[in-house]
Structure 1
Amino acid sequence: MEGWKIRRPQIHSCIPLPSELCGSCTVLTGELCPWLPLTRQQQQQQHPSQRAVTQPYAVSARYAAARAERAAQAAGASAMLQAQNRKPTFTEARDIRLICPECREDPPDLVEAYSSGDLVCGSCGMVVGDRIVDTRSEWRTFANEDGDDPSRVGQATNPILDGLTESLETRISSSDGGSGLSFALQRATNRTATSNANRHILEGFDAIQNKVERMSLPRSAAEAAKQLFRRVQDEKIMRGRKTEAIIAAVLFVACKQSGTPRTFPEIMSSVSGVTKRQVVDCFKEIQATFELGQSDARPEGGAGLNITSAVDLINRFCNLLGLERIVVRSTEEIAGVIREKGFLDGRSPVTIAAACIYLTTTIWGVHRSTKRIAEATGVSPATIKGSYRDLIKVKDQILTPEIVNRSDRIDASRAVA
């Protein structure tokens, strides 16, 4: 191969990028590039390998056209497949009416007999349709109590738990011989099933329920306390506060709103690890945040957030003492007179209630010692006797003829200091 030599690739001065080298200069050749003598403008117009590069790794027009064609074909095939798989939509044919073919009464008197699964004409008794489906809830079952319950109705929806327990719950049996493995499994399940915020709310609900049962509060108070506790957590108004203090505050509010007020010492006795100041601060913050004032609209029969009076406490204390209903009503009447005339102002409602009970049981001849009343009310016997002596001083203004003449069993002369 004499006369042939290898030429090194040369970069034309008219081409700025190495990727645009002349194709003739990159192969074995014995001649010079025929395009070299051309000017820069002539090379850009006539050079077969010259291409204008607009962006890095740009696709060719042919490939772009082929890709667009394939995309259009795929979109057409997908649309055709969706059209084939689309389920037909059925609408109610309002122009078709079902009437009895026998009596042809219009409008028809059709009765759905779910017990037999028939659609019966109420006018002539003809069976117009059969095998109808009973869509009503199976609230009752008359099966044998020893057998399985065929009822498939779940429990009622609880709006307080809305969004907290959306998934199914798994319970681990605790019968593992005391090894503690089941407790660890249940704790791990609880942590993975719910988020931290929801788990904190559910734990608060359990604590509220335990305290409600311990204090023998009605269900209405428990539901009100849980609802208020969730609102506090959702609004994030008490970050950094102890959960026990928040629970005590919501219980205090719930008891008042449900018409079953409890004294502050009773609420404090149900919680632990918090001080009275912490609970009071939580109560004031709840009252200010949700605008729970004395003039609030309250549930029917509720007590709102007004200051607890002795009349609100007498009924429960008298039940603990086993007093008759007529004695209870008389005690409430005496407490109302004392509040109206301002006697024992400055004393706590619990003290006033205890003193009224002691005065009423005395004039009715129903013996209840100060020690027994103190056990029921939580007031010391000395405080009860001191308030009782103050009432004796104004006995004539309290024991009005309307109160004394209500029963022959009442004797005002029994009330002595």
Structure 2
Amino acid sequence: MSDTTIRTGAEEQTSERLREETEESASEREQECPECGGRLDADTEHGETVCAECGLVVEEDEIDRGPEWRAFNPSEKDEKSRVGAPTTNMMHDKGLSTNIGWQNKDAYGNSLSSNQRQKMQRLRTWNERFRTRDSKERNLKQALGEIDRMASALGLPKTVRETASVIYRRALEENLLPGRSIEGVATASLYAAARQANTPRSLDEMTAVSRVEKMELTRTYRYVVRELNLEIKPADPESYLPRFVSDLELSDDTERRARELIVSARDQGILSGKSPVGLAAAAVYAAALLTNEKVTQSEVSDVANISEVTIRNRYKELLESVDAPA
């Protein structure tokens, strides 16, 4: 290596060190009083930067980015937090727009006059019009309303509604709606989301709360799953047991016995080709008989929304699978 190369590298290191020292000295000067060189302190109460030695006010009217309240424990901090609601896929605008309440009262709780009520009604009308800018958003608003209505009727949790909203948004973006009804795609999205979350509902239950026929629901569901490549496992009869047992007010022993019957039937290969809802209802009825709990086939049929004939046929098969040799 030549002397020129060595000298050049040493010069670069020296210049880099000088630059760093210059920046450090500049930052130190920023923390010093320009008059006496004293230490600067930030007075957050008055929004000022003051010299601790001579009292010179270096900066004033600073923006206080902290809260205007004090909290002495985590619970008070959470209660006094003034952030808005989190964004959600359950609303067409993800909850970011303004919503005018339906109460005809002012900020003090006093009722509005008739003229003020008319003005507020006009504001609500125009606010609803402005929230949906085009046909796509109107479509999404109607569909998400349908999903929320059906999920409430079926007792599905919020996570299922969120998932169903995401599935419908994907279907809308993939242009899968032409030729199909909004209610049909919304019901299919909710049915798929419930199965993905292991809280399935039967097709009959979905049809009871939906505005579409069962045939349209099954056809639309298969189309949406195929086009969006949704990974949905076959419905497991065990996933229906907790709901049936709870609706029938049976004991935990009955639920545990019903699970044992389904596991035994699965080992014997009886579950293949059978309706999971019928198997779950039959397992609950058979388990209730084995644990000496009083429940009729009619009661189980009403809860599971299947015929009594199906229960009789399936529960006999389940009992035979238990008696069958391993």
Whether these two folds match at TM > 0.5 is yes
Of 231, 236, 252, 2:191 maps to: 252
CA distance in 2, matches of 1:390, 1:204: 42
CA apart distance, 1:275 = 1.9
CA shift digits 1:287-316 (9 cap, x unpaired): 122111xxx4xxxxxxxx111121121121
Q: 1:319 aligns with which of 234, 242, 246?
A: 246
Contact 2:282/2:311, CA 8 A, preserved across alignment? yes
- Partner of residue 160, structure 2: 221
Amino acid aligned to 1:286: V
Is 1:155 the counterpart of 2:82? The answer is no
Q: What corresponds to 1:286 in structure 2?
A: 224
How far apart are 1:271 and its partner, in Å?
0.5
The answer as to 2:179 corresponding to 1:240 is yes
Partners of 1:275 and 1:202 in 2: how far apart? 22
Match of 1:168 among 98, 108, 112: 98
Among candidates 277, 288, 311, match of residue 350 of structure 1: 277
In the alignment, is the contact (CA less than 8 A) between 1:318 and 1:328 conserved in 2? yes
2:27 to 96, 100, 110: 96
Post-superposition offset of 1:253: 0.7
Question: Of the candidates 308, 314, 323, which is equivalent to residue 387 of structure 1?
Answer: 314
1:238-295 deviation per Cα after TM superposition (whole angstroms, max 9, x unaligned) = 11311111111001111011221111111111112x2222222221221122111xxx
- In structure 1, what is the equivalent of residue 140 of structure 2? 201
Cα distance in structure 1, aligned partners of 2:308 and 2:216: 29
Looking at structure 2, the residues matched to 138 and 318 of structure 1 have their Cα atoms a distance apart, in angstroms, of 52
Alpha-carbon distance, 1:370 to partner: 1.3
Residues 207 and 307 of structure 1: is their aligned pair in 2 closer, same or farther, counting only changes over 3 Å? same
More helix by share: 2
Pairwise CA distance, 1:318? 1.1
> Which structure has the larger Rg over C-alpha atoms?
1
Indicate whether 1:363 and 2:290 are aligned.
yes
Tell me: CA distance 1:277–1:96, structure 2 relative to 1, closer, same or farther (3 Å): same
State whether structure 2 residue 262 is matched by structure 1 residue 335.
yes
State the SS of the aligned residue for 1:373: helix
Selected match of 1:275 from 213, 216, 220: 213
Amino acid at match of 1:155: A
Amino acid at match of 1:284: R
On the 8 A contact 2:171/2:228 being kept in 1, the answer is no
Q: Does 1:310 align with 2:237?
A: yes
The answer to whether the 8 A contact 1:201-1:230 is kept is yes
Determine helix, strand or coil for the equivalent of 1:221: helix
In 2: Cα distance, 1:344 partner to 1:386 partner: 13
> By how many angstroms is 1:184 displaced?
7.4
The 2-side partners of 1:208 and 1:306 are apart by 22
Tell whether the 8 Å contact from 1:138 to 1:153 is kept in structure 2 after alignment. Answer: no
- Give distance in 2, aligned partners of 1:264 and 1:246: 14
Cα root mean square deviation, aligned = 4.1
Contact in 2 for aligned 1:141/1:151 (Cα 8 Å): no
Cα distance between partner residues in 1 of 2:132 and 2:182: 19
Deviations, residues 36-85 of structure 1 (Å, cap 9, x unaligned): xxxxxxxxxxxxxxxxxxxxxxxxxxxxxxxxxxxxxxxxxxxxxxxxxx
CA offsets 1:385-413 (integer angstroms, 9 cap, x no match): 23223334444138x8xxxxxxxxxxxxx
User: Gapped runs of 5+ residues in structure 2?
Assistant: 1-22, 33-41, 48-60, 73-78, 105-111
The 3 A distance-change label for structure 1 pair 188 and 202 is same
Regions of 4+ moved over 4 Å: 131-142, 159-167, 171-177, 180-185
Partner of 1:152, secondary structure, is coil
| Structure 1 residues not aligned, in runs of 5+ | 1-92, 102-111, 118-130, 143-148, 297-304, 401-417
More moved, 158-167 vs 185-194 = 158-167
What secondary structure sits across from 1:96 in the alignment?
helix
- Percent identity at matched positions? 23
> How many aligned positions are there?
268
Structure 2: which amino acid aligns with 1:168? Answer: T
> Which of 1 and 2 has higher RCO (CA within 8 Å, sep 6+)?
2
State the shift of 1:141 in Å: 6.8
Corresponding residue for residue 261 of structure 1 = 200
Tell me, in whole angstroms, the C-alpha distance in 2 between the residues paired with 1:139 and 1:378: 55
Following the alignment from structure 1 to structure 2, what is the Cα–Cα distance between the partners of residues 333 and 395? 9
CA drift of 1:215 comes to 0.8
The change in CA–CA distance for 1:264 and 1:184 in structure 2 (over 3 A counts) is farther
What does the per-residue CA deviation read over 1:105-162, in whole Å, with 9 as the maximum and x for residues that have no partner?
Answer: xxxxxxx9x99x9xxxxxxxxxxxxx997746799978xxxxxx96532222336658
- Deviation of 1:220 (Å): 0.6
For 2:283 and 2:253, the matched residues in 1 are separated by 14
Matches within 5 A, 1:59-138: 96=27, 135=65
TM-score (norm 1): 0.54
